Amino acid sequence: MNDILYAPWRNEYVAGAKCEGCVFCHISENEAMDEEHHVLYRDEHCFVVMNRYPYTPGHFMIIPHYHTDALEALDPAVWLHMSALAQKGVRMLKEGLGAHAVNIGMNLGREAGAGIAEHIHMHLVPRWERDTNFITAIAKTRVYSTDFEKIFKKLKSITFEYL
C-alpha cells in the first residue's frame, strides 16, 4: 500500500513562476513587495525573511543585501551586523514565539547543502521539545504543525520589539 501525504502548499514551489536571477537579490531590490515576500525586517545592510519552506514554524533567514557566495568576501561590518541580528533574532524566537532552543546555520556552497548557493544567508530555526519525529528521518518528509501566514503575522507584529 502506498501512502500519500497531501501537501498543497508545495504546488507554488513546484509549479509556480521562477524568479529570474538571484531570488535574494530580487527580495532585496523590491521593498514594496515585503509583505508578499514575508520580509520581517530590513535595514541598510541586511533583510530578514521567513523561509518559505521551513524546517519548523518560525524559521527565518538573515541575508545581506550584498550579493556574494563567499562569506570571506563580505564586509566585516556587515558580518558583525548579521551576528547582532542573529542574537536579537534568537531572543525574539525564544521570548516572542516561545521556542525552547534555536539552531543557527549557514551552508556555504552547494556541496555544503546550500539550496541557494549564490547568495549567502544565515538560518535561524526555532526548536521545541519533541518537535522531531520519525517521519523526518525515515520518510524524508517534514510535518509543519501550524499555518505559515499565522506565524509570519505573529513574528511581524513583534519584530520591532526585538530587531
Catalytic center residues:
121
Chain-centroid distance of CA 50 in Å reads 4
Nearest Cα to Cα of residue 160 among 41, 38, 37: 41
Helix axes 76-91, 148-162, angle to 10 degrees: 110
Tell me how far apart the alpha carbons of residues 118 and 46 are, in angstroms, rounded to a whole number. Answer: 16
Do the Cβ atoms of 58 and 93 come closer than 8 Å?
yes
